[in-house]
């Protein structure tokens, strides 16, 4: 023991000498001079003394003030100065891989070292960390996994959780676990860092922990909203109440102020702007649906127009474009490459950045461009598994705006009108409250965080307990959790697919049974807004158009047929005419198309289909099989079809009589030659209505209702058995029990 102490002391002395040598070298001095200019440096003393006097502290400050690069360094340096260098282990978590990597590199160079000496990083599948690493930047996920292996984090002296204002799910999870750990490790220090101040919430969660605010500085940033941008182009956007051909209220009207002043390039940009502005959800009456908008409305021409003008008229510098996702980023890049100015590599360097890109590619955006080239990069930091893009909050709009003023005065172009900005939420809801509960429960289980409801009850902000319990019950019924709330094989696959479990189930079985083409369309259709439009004044025409696609007593298969037609039309570049003629939403069809791609790549990642997808569609034309896979996904959304002389009625076990939504293809049938309907959603307006449904036979329900994996069978055996008996089909129920047992022995995912 004494020998060990001696070694550690010698090592600590070496570290101190090395640090002093660097700080006194010419480059070291220059670096220190730069660091001293950062606002965080002025708070160094206050921060270090707060850390030594408190187990938990909260630090906030504007982006760029030096939180991430300086504060972990202050701690490391002060430990080294007090000859405790070899004893300290500082971990700083980042929500994103790219920041863990780029920040560690920056900090190493500020210390005059190479990465992997005293400073290192670790992200999933990659890392740079050596025997002498005492400051480690890692993703939040990595620290959570580390906690699985050692719940006391032996040897770690300081934990810094960065960017907590983002309220990512992993960060919220981590705080619950750390709060638990603090009393067991009284020497451990926890530092929470945040860009925007919501310090009260965090402080009270940690029993009134002290907060330090770093006063910030940024250059002024001029802000333009959509109406200002259009005005610059000579157009004026004014509110109006026109009704368009589809009976939708148009809120915006464009008046040409200066006739034919500009080139045709402006025309398409303006056309785009009108499409953005005319998007019906901009109406204040439908504010609730403001939370979803369609990528179609992003307005690529408008972005091109603005970028072109910046490049022609502005001083050198960088432009940062925030997009909703990878699809849009790559589409825009391809579009810009065809522009004579923006696509000219001697004038503009076009770079892309997205969480799904390789880290080496992502880090290109941090390199200095060669002389003269203006730099453009696209940034989709929002990498949450969210199927529909949503509006950002005012706080993130402000933060993105702030990035334009880091090194010189800047400009910010919002591609939406001011009145839309005014409807944004102040803060974004924390991810833990935004994530669908079923997925959240599966996530907790995959991280082995114990009992779901007990764990969630200790969160900074927890979802409602009743709702959590319902979600757990549902996961048991569909076979993702067993009776003891443990993940089944199916559940483990579902945790790897960031989507609603019912969609995940459908896709998994679609992959196993080689009918992914139609099944991915069905799953995508369930995730976007109904593509079948029914404008009030053209209801009959719209219904007639839909019934042209009607087939197999299934709304889901009806959509598949409509999508296949769209795909053909798209090949002939006639998809807009196709949508117009058939009363289909072009935006929804495009979104379905994009989602299908996303599903395929997710299934490839999980290993359920091979990369050239040779066999995943061999059975795509077997309607009965597809019906069965839909049933597997939508169960327990099931109702019984009771026929009488003239027509039929529908019943579910929980609600009794239910009705079909009027635009369901099954609502127009006087007879449904099947005993069951499976459905996605119930809506309560006076009566209970079922939205989309697919008719299924006894045998399909028997074999595919619930899980076909072994775990958790008892629960849904009882439930499905109950269904069959309730609807007086006891003979079928008996048969079911027998088949089921046989089947469970045969099939396992
Ligand atoms: P915060 O975490 O508060 O947003 P950072 O610690 O990331 O701030 O950055 C502080 C400052 O350090 C930045 O404003 C910038 O001037 C400088 N900086 C950060 N990273 C780099 C880098 N890779 N190269 C050069 N300067 C950098
Ligand atoms: Mg930071």
Per-residue pLDDT tens over the stretch 34-70: 999 999 999 999 999 999 999 999 999 887 889 999 9
Phi and psi, residue 612, nearest 5°: -95, 5
Q: How far is the CA of 365 from the centre of ligand 1 (A)?
A: 14
Return the axis-axis angle of helices 575-582 and 586-606, rounded to nearest 10°: 120
pLDDT at 123 over 90: yes
Q: Residue written as tokens 């919501």?
A: 198
Q: How far is the CA of 62 from the centre of ligand 2 (A)?
A: 9
Residues 75-90 pLDDT 10s: 999 999 999 999 999 9
Q: Are 210 and 236 in contact (CB under 8 A)?
A: no
Q: Name which residue leads in pLDDT, 514 or 567.
A: 567
Q: How far is the CA of 64 from the centre of ligand 2 (A)?
A: 7
Mean pLDDT along residues 174-200: 92
Residue 191's contacts (CB-CB under 8 Å, 6 or more residues apart) are: 51, 56, 57, 58, 59, 71, 75, 158, 159, 160, 161
Return the axis-axis angle of helices 300-313 and 264-278, rounded to nearest 10°: 130
Phi and psi, residue 639, nearest 5°: -135, 155
Calpha distance 30→28 (Å, rounded):
5
67 CB near ligand 1 (under 6 Å):
yes
Question: pLDDT band at 525, cuts 50/70/90?
Answer: very high
pLDDT at 309 over 90: no
Q: What integer best gives the mean pLDDT of the chain?
A: 82
Among the residue ranges 22-31, 323-332, 541-550, the one predicted with the least confidence is 323-332
- The residue whose C-alpha atom lies closest to atom 16 belonging to ligand 1 is 64
> What is the pLDDT at residue 171?
93
Calpha distance 173→646 (Å, rounded):
56
Calpha distance 88→139 (Å, rounded):
20
pLDDT at 669 over 60: yes
- The residue whose C-alpha atom lies closest to atom 21 belonging to ligand 1 is 106
3-class SS of residue 232: helix
Q: Which helix (H) or strand (E) holds 73?
A: helix 67-81
Q: How far is the CA of 68 from the centre of ligand 2 (A)?
A: 4
The ligand that comes nearest to the alpha carbon of residue 61 is 1
Q: How far is the CA of 102 from the centre of ligand 2 (A)?
A: 11
Calpha distance 705→716 (Å, rounded):
8
366 CB near ligand 1 (under 6 Å):
yes
Mean pLDDT along residues 412-423: 81
> What is the pLDDT at residue 355?
67
Among the residue ranges 412-421, 519-528, 542-551, the one predicted with the least confidence is 412-421
3-class SS of residue 284: helix
pLDDT at 406 over 50: yes
CA-wise closest residue to 632 among 720, 714, 546: 720
Calpha distance 140→432 (Å, rounded):
15
Which residues are close to ligand 2, an ion, with C-beta < 5 A? 67-68
Question: pLDDT band at 377, cuts 50/70/90?
Answer: low
> What is the pLDDT at residue 297?
43
> What is the pLDDT at residue 733?
57
Task: Give the bridge partners for 363, in sequence order.
Answer: none
- Ranked by mean pLDDT, the top range of 46-55, 534-543, 587-596, 681-690 is 46-55
CA-wise closest residue to 421 among 219, 224, 134: 224
Calpha distance 562→413 (Å, rounded):
38
3-class SS of residue 264: helix
69 CB near ligand 1 (under 6 Å):
yes
Mutational test site, ligand 1, from 31, 66, 121, 364, max ligand atoms within 8 Å of CB: 66
506 CB near ligand 1 (under 6 Å):
no
65 CB near ligand 1 (under 6 Å):
yes
pLDDT at 545 over 50: yes
The ligand that comes nearest to the alpha carbon of residue 109 is 1
User: In angstroms, how far is CA 408 from the centroid of its own chain?
Assistant: 32
Task: Give the bridge partners for 411, in sequence order.
Answer: 222
Q: How far is the CA of 99 from the centre of ligand 1 (A)?
A: 11
Q: Rounded to whole angstroms, what are the CA distances from 162 to 65, 405, 527? A: 13, 22, 33
Q: Where are the beta strands (DSSP E) in 225-361?
A: 235-239, 252-256, 318-322, 348-354
In the DSSP assignment, the letter for residue 355 is T
Mutational test site, ligand 1, from 106, 191, 217, max ligand atoms within 8 Å of CB: 106
> What is the pLDDT at residue 332?
83
Residue 127's contacts (CB-CB under 8 Å, 6 or more residues apart) are: 120, 121
pLDDT at 348 over 50: yes
Region label for 317, one of left (φ > 0), alpha (ψ between -120 and 50) or beta (otherwise): left
106 CB near ligand 1 (under 6 Å):
yes
Calpha distance 513→496 (Å, rounded):
19
The ligand that comes nearest to the alpha carbon of residue 63 is 1
> What is the pLDDT at residue 378?
54
Q: Name which residue leads in pLDDT, 622 or 293.
A: 622
> What is the pLDDT at residue 57?
97
Residues 603-654 pLDDT 10s: 998 888 887 776 788 889 889 889 999 999 998 899 989 888 888 999 887 8
- The residue whose C-alpha atom lies closest to atom 10 belonging to ligand 1 is 66
pLDDT at 460 over 80: yes
Phi and psi, residue 289, nearest 5°: -85, 0
Mean pLDDT along residues 114-134: 95
Greatest extent of the chain over all pairs of C-alpha atoms, in Å: 96
194 CB near ligand 1 (under 6 Å):
no
66 CB near ligand 1 (under 6 Å):
yes
DSSP string, 654-715: TTEEEEE-TTSGGGG-S--SSSEEEES-EEEESEEEE-SEEEE-HHHHHHHSS-SSSTTHHH
Calpha distance 40→640 (Å, rounded):
66
Calpha distance 402→629 (Å, rounded):
49
Q: How far is the CA of 555 from the centre of ligand 1 (A)?
A: 53
- The residue whose C-alpha atom lies closest to atom 14 belonging to ligand 1 is 64
Mean pLDDT along residues 13-31: 97
59 CB near ligand 1 (under 6 Å):
no
> What is the pLDDT at residue 534?
81
Among the residue ranges 275-284, 435-444, 632-641, 682-691, the one predicted with the least confidence is 275-284
3-class SS of residue 33: helix
Residue 123's contacts (CB-CB under 8 Å, 6 or more residues apart) are: 97, 100, 101, 138, 139, 142, 359
The dihedral formed by the CA atoms of 152, 153, 158 and 164, expressed in degrees to the nearest 10: -90
Q: How far is the CA of 103 from the centre of ligand 2 (A)?
A: 9
pLDDT at 389 over 70: no
Task: Give the bridge partners for 158, in sequence order.
Answer: 90, 189
Residues 717-739 pLDDT 10s: 455 555 555 554 555 555 556 65
68 CB near ligand 1 (under 6 Å):
yes
Mean pLDDT along residues 655-681: 91
Phi and psi, residue 715, nearest 5°: -55, -55
The predicted complex's ipTM stands at 0.99
64 CB near ligand 1 (under 6 Å):
yes
Q: How far is the CA of 665 from the centre of ligand 2 (A)?
A: 53
Residue 504's contacts (CB-CB under 8 Å, 6 or more residues apart) are: 493, 494, 497
Say if residue 636 is preceded by a cis peptide, omega within 30 of 0: yes
38 CB near ligand 1 (under 6 Å):
yes
Q: Name which residue leads in pLDDT, 136 or 700.
A: 136
- The residue whose C-alpha atom lies closest to atom 15 belonging to ligand 1 is 64
Among the residue ranges 62-66, 134-138, 565-569, 691-695, the one predicted with the least confidence is 62-66
Mean pLDDT along residues 436-461: 92
The atom number, within ligand 1, closest to the CA of 69 reads 6
Q: How far is the CA of 63 from the centre of ligand 2 (A)?
A: 6
The ligand that comes nearest to the alpha carbon of residue 407 is 1
Q: Please report, rounded to a whole number, the percentage of residues in the chain having pLDDT higher than 90.
A: 44
Region label for 434, one of left (φ > 0), alpha (ψ between -120 and 50) or beta (otherwise): alpha
Mutational test site, ligand 1, from 44, 62, 69, max ligand atoms within 8 Å of CB: 69
Q: Name which residue leads in pLDDT, 384 or 106.
A: 106
> What is the pLDDT at residue 114?
96
Q: Name which residue leads in pLDDT, 644 or 657.
A: 657
The ligand that comes nearest to the alpha carbon of residue 219 is 1
- The residue whose C-alpha atom lies closest to atom 23 belonging to ligand 1 is 106
> What is the pLDDT at residue 186?
96
User: In angstroms, how far is CA 166 from the centroid of its own chain?
Assistant: 13
Structure tokens at 722: 């109950």
**pTM higher than 0.80, yes or no?**
no
Residues 201-251 pLDDT 10s: 899 999 999 999 998 767 888 998 877 877 776 666 655 444 333 333 333
CA-wise closest residue to 677 among 559, 563, 555, 558: 555
> What is the pLDDT at residue 51?
97
The atom number, within ligand 1, closest to the CA of 62 reads 3
Q: How far is the CA of 392 from the centre of ligand 1 (A)?
A: 24
Q: How many Å is the Cα radius of gyration of the chain?
A: 29
Q: Rounded to whole angstroms, what are the CA distances from 711 to 255, 474, 491, 497? A: 64, 14, 10, 19
Q: Are 210 and 203 in contact (CB under 8 A)?
A: yes
Q: How far is the CA of 36 from the centre of ligand 2 (A)?
A: 17
Q: How far is the CA of 70 from the centre of ligand 1 (A)?
A: 9
């Amino acid at each position: 023991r004494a020998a060990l102490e001696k070694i550690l002391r010698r090592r600590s002395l070496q570290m101190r000498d090395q640090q002093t040598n660097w700080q006194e070298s010419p480059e070291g001095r220059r670096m220190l001079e730069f660091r001293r200019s950062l606002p965080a440096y002025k708070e160094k003393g206050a921060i270090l003394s707060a850390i030594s006097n408190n187990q938990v502290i909260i630090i906030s400050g504007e982006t760029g003030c030096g939180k991430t690069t300086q504060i972990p360094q202050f701690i490391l340096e002060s430990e080294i100065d007090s000859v405790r260098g070899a004893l300290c282990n500082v971990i700083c978590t980042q929500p994103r891989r790219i920041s863990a990597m780029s920040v560690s590199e920056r900090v190493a160079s500020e210390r005059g070292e190479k990465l992997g000496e005293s400073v290192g990083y670790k992200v999933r599948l990659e890392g740079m960390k050596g025997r002498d690493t005492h400051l480690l930047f890692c993703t939040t996920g990595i620290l959570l996994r580390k906690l699985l292996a050692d719940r006391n984090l032996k040897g770690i002296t300081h934990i810094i959780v960065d960017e907590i204002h983002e309220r990512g799910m992993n960060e919220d999870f981590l705080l619950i676990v750390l709060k638990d750990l603090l009393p067991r490790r009284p020497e451990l220090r926890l530092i929470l860092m945040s860009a925007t101040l919501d310090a009260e919430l965090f402080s009270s969660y940690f029993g009134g922990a002290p907060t330090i605010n770093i006063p910030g500085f940024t250059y002024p940033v001029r802000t333009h909203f959509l109406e200002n941008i259009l005005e610059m182009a000579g157009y004026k956007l004014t509110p109006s109440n026109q009704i368009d051909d589809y009976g939708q209220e148009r809120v915006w009207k464009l008046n040409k102020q200066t006739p034919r002043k500009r080139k045709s390039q402006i025309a398409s940009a303006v056309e785009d702007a009108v499409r953005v502005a005319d998007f019906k959800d901009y109406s204040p009456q439908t504010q609730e649906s403001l939370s979803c908008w369609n990528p179609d409305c992003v307005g690529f021409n408008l972005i091109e127009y603005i970028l072109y003008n910046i490049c022609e008229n502005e001083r050198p510098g960088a432009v940062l474009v925030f997009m909703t996702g990878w699809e849009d980023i790559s589409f825009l890049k391809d579009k810009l490459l065809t522009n004579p100015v923006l696509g000219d590599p001697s004038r503009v360097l076009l770079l892309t950045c997205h969480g799904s890109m390789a880290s080496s590619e992502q880090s290109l955006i941090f390199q200095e461009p060669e002389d003269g080239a203006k730099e453009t990069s696209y940034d989709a930091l929002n990498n949450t598994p969210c199927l529909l893009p949503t509006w950002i909050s005012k706080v993130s709009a402000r933060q993105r705006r702030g990035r334009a003023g880091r090194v010189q005065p800047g400009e910010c172009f919002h591609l939406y009108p001011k009145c839309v900005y005014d409807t944004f939420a102040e803060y974004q809801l924390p991810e833990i409250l935004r994530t669908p509960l079923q997925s959240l429960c599966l996530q907790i289980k995959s991280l082995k965080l114990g009992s779901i409801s007990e764990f969630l009850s200790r969160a900074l902000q927890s979802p409602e307990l009743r709702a959590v319990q319902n979600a757990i019950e549902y996961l048991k019924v569909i076979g993702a959790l067993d009776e003891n709330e443990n993940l089944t094989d199916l559940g483990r696959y579902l945790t790897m697919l960031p989507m609603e479990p019912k969609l995940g189930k459908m896709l998994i079985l679609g992959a196993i049974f080689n009918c992914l083409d139609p099944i991915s369309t069905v799953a995508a259709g369930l995730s976007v807004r109904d593509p079948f439009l029914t404008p009030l004044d053209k209801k009959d025409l719209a219904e007639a158009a839909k019934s042209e696609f009607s087939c197999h007593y299934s709304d889901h298969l009806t959509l598949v047929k409509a999508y296949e037609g769209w795909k053909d039309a798209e090949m002939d570049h006639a998809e807009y005419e196709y949508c117009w003629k058939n009363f289909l939403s072009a935006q929804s069809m495009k979104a379905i198309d994009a989602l299908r791609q996303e599903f395929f790549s997710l299934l490839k990642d999980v290993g359920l289909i091979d990369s050239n997808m040779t066999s995943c569609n061999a059975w795509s034309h077997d309607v009965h099989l597809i019906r069965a896979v839909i049933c597997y996904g939508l169960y327990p959304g099931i109702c019984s079809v009771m026929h009488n002389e003239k027509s039929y009625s529908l019943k579910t076990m929980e609600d009794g009589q239910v009705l079909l939504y009027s635009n369901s293809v099954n609502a127009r049938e006087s007879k449904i030659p099947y005993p069951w309907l499976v459905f996605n959603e119930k809506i309560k307006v006076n009566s209970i209505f079922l939205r989309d449904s697919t008719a299924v036979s006894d045998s399909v329900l028997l074999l595919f209702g619930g899980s076909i994996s072994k775990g958790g069978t008892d629960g849904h055996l009882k439930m499905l058995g109950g269904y069959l008996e309730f609807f007086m089909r006891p003979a079928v129920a008996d048969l079911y029990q027998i088949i089921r047992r046989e089947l469970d022995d045969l099939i396992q995912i």
